[in-house]
Structure formats: C-alpha cells, structure tokens
C-alpha cells in the first residue's frame, strides 16, 4: 500500500468499508493536483465533488463584503472537505485554496450517493465527521466571545500542533505553512495583535517563531494560556 492509499483508507469515507467496499469506492475517485496559491473552488460556486487531501494543505476561507477574509480551517492529509453541498445541494459555503502544493482524491457527489443509501456505515462516518466539525465550530465561536486574542492564538497553535506537529529533540515542530496574515485570519484578530501575542510567547520561551512554522518548547504553559 503506498502512502496515498494509506492516507485514503484512514479518511472518514473509507474507515467504514471493508477491503472490497473500499476498492469499489476507490474506482470512482480521480486524483486532483493544484499548486500553492491556486483556488480549487470559490464560495458561491456550484459544487459536485468532495475531496480528501492526500498530501499538502488546503485553507477554507470566506470573504466579507468589504474584502476581509476569515479563515475557517486549514486541512491536511486524510481530512475531507466539499461535502456540505452533497448533503444540502446549494452553492459552496467557502473557498478552497492551496496553502502548499496539494494532491487530493476527488469524488463526485453523484458517485457517492449510492454508497450512502447502500452502505449506511459510510453515511454514519460522514455524519461523525460533520458532528466533529460542528463541535469545533461551536468551540471557535465561544472562543471569539469569551477568550482574548493571546488565548485564541495559543489554542490555534495547539490545534495545528495536534494535526501537523512533529516532536523533535528541540521541541514540537509545527509547520503550519501559514503567513502571519493567515494566522490572524484564523484567530479572527489583526495581524499586529497576533504578532504581539506570538512575540510575548517567544519572550517567555514557550515557543520559537520560524518562517510559516513555530517550535513549541512548553506546550503545558501554552495550554494553560489557551483556557
Ligand atoms: P462545501 O460547502 O461543499 O464547500 C466548502 C467546504 O468547506 C464545505 O463544503 C465544508 O467541507 C468546508 N467547511 C465549511 N465550513 C467549515 C468550517 N466551519 N470548518 C471546516 N470546514 C468547513
């Protein structure tokens, strides 16, 4: 099994299937590649496919009428997006833009529908993924109301660390691949305020700032600040 198949078999869609089922579903998949900075689809487009990331990172964004951007999420290998317009056939709720070069598995909604009806376990796993997203969205909304910007920055870094972190001798390396502007869009604050929070964490030696990455030295202190 190569890396891509391995990533795919852990995605919510495939987790539920036995070998034979997975093989059947896999035959409907086509591979899609886009380069860093390229837009896969835009908010408001008609949507007929969902995607599972095999390699790289994708950001999901919404743009306000005045042009400001809100970054809903950054997704990496094994994570899925583009399924809302499958369950609720209306335009895309967000834009999907490549943060790095990305390789994805694309699956047409029409190809997936028979699986939802014929294999309820596939539907249950997709519902679980949706439920997890709703939980996360509720947490993010509560944080916007109840938590200050440094707390939100700490939380966002810990969330990115959970998904993209690699423990090395000198700390937990988190290559989030986001610019400081994008990090600010993710926590819903200005770049200046987010930079100030990061500089403060660095001065306390909780982390080290690198280009599009941080190295976390003291996750416990960061966790306490995130509360
Ligand atoms: P769809 O609306 O088809 O296209 C945009 C996709 O972004 C959407 O499906 C979801 O897969 C994803 N998405 C929308 N809102 C969020 C969110 N709050 N958190 C994470 N992903 C989201």
Ligand 1 probe mutation, 51, 82, 93, 106, most atoms within 8 A of CB: 93
Q: Would you state the structure tokens that stand for residue 32, as one six-digit string? A: 């899609």
**H/E element holding 166?**
strand 165-168
Rounded to 5 degrees, φ, ψ at 32 are: -125, 135
Q: Which of 43, 45, 69, 84 for mutating ligand 1's site (highest number of atoms within 8 Å of CB)?
A: 84
Tokens standing for 154? Answer: 């700490």
Looking at the structure, give the CATH architecture of the domain made up of residues 148-226.
Orthogonal Bundle (1.10)
Structure pTM? 0.92
Nearest partner of 212 among 182, 178, 169, 162, judged by Cα: 178
Give the pair of three-digit tokens for residue 42: 């835009």
Q: How far is the CA of 96 from the centre of ligand 1 (A)?
A: 9
In our burial notation (b when 16+ CB lie closer than 10 A, e otherwise), range 192-220 reads: ebbbebbeebeeeebbeeeeeebbbbbbe
**Does residue 1 surpass a pLDDT of 70?**
no
* Cα 91 → chain centroid: 20
Domain definitions of the chain by residue range: 3-144, 148-226
- At residue 11 the predicted structure's pLDDT band, cuts being 50, 70 and 90, is confident
**How many angstroms separate the CA atoms of 104 and 98, rounded?**
11
For range 139-161, the mean pLDDT? 95
Q: What pLDDT sits at residue 4? A: 67
CA of residue 92 to ligand 1 center, whole Å: 8
Residue whose CA is at the smallest distance from ligand 1 atom 11: 81
83 lines ligand 1 (CB under 6 A): yes
For ligand 1, atom 5, name the residue with the nearest CA: 94
CATH number of 3-144: 2.60.120.10
Q: What is the pLDDT of residues 33-66, one digit of tens each?
A: 999 999 999 999 999 999 999 999 999 999 999 9
Helix (H) or strand (E) holding 63: strand 58-63
CB contact set of 157 (below 8 Å; sequence gap of 6+): 174, 176, 207, 214, 216, 222
- How far, in Å, from the CA of 93 to the mean position of ligand 1? 6
pLDDT digits (tens, 9 = 90+) for 85-125: 888 889 999 999 999 999 999 999 899 888 888 888 888 98
Q: Model confidence over 65-81: pLDDT tens digits?
A: 998 999 999 999 999 99
Q: How far is the CA of 130 from the centre of ligand 1 (A)?
A: 10
Confidence tier at 21 by pLDDT (50, 70, 90): confident
**What are the tens digits of pLDDT across the range 177-226?**
999 999 999 999 999 999 999 999 999 999 999 999 999 999 999 999 99
Residue 129 tokens, joined: 């993924």
Q: Which atom of ligand 1 is nearest to the CA of 86?
A: 3
Q: What is the DSSP letter of 145?
A: H
Report the C-alpha gap between 1 and 63 in whole angstroms. Answer: 40
Q: Which residues contact 62 (CB under 8 A, 6 or more apart)?
A: 43, 69, 70, 72, 93, 94, 95
- At 47 the pLDDT is 92
CB 26 within 8 A of CB 4: no
Residue 2 has pLDDT above 60, yes or no: no
Q: How many whole angstroms separate alpha carbon 35 and alpha carbon 26?
A: 24
Cβ neighbors of 46 (< 8 A, separation 6 or more) are 85, 91, 92
Q: Please tell me the distance from the alpha carbon of residue 150 to that of residue 218, in angstroms, as a whole number.
A: 15
pLDDT, residue 19, reads 80
């Amino acid at each position: 099994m190569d890396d891509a198949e391995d990533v795919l078999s852990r995605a919510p869609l495939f987790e539920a299937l036995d070998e034979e089922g997975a093989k059947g579903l896999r035959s409907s998949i086509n591979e899609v590649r886009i380069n860093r900075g390229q837009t896969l689809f835009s908010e408001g487009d008609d949507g007929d496919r969902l995607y599972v990331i095999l390699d790289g990172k994708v950001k999901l964004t919404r743009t306000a009428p005045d042009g400001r951007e809100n970054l809903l999420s950054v997704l990496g290998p094994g994570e899925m997006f583009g399924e809302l317009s499958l369950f609720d056939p209306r335009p895309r709720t967000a834009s999907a833009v490549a943060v790095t070069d990305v390789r994805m598995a694309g699956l047409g909604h029409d190809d997936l529908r028979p699986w939802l009806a014929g294999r309820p376990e596939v539907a249950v796993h997709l519902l679980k993924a949706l439920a997890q997203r709703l939980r996360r969205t509720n947490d993010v909304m509560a944080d916007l109301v109840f938590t200050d910007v440094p707390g939100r920055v700490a939380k966002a870094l810990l969330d990115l660390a959970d998904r993209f972190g690699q423990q090395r001798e000198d700390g937990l390396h988190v290559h989030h691949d986001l610019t400081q502007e994008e990090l600010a869009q993710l926590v819903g604050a200005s770049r200046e305020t987010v930079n100030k929070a990061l500089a403060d964490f660095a001065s306390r030696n909780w982390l080290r700032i690198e280009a599009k990455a941080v190295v976390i030295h003291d996750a416990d202190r960061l966790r306490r600040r995130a509360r």
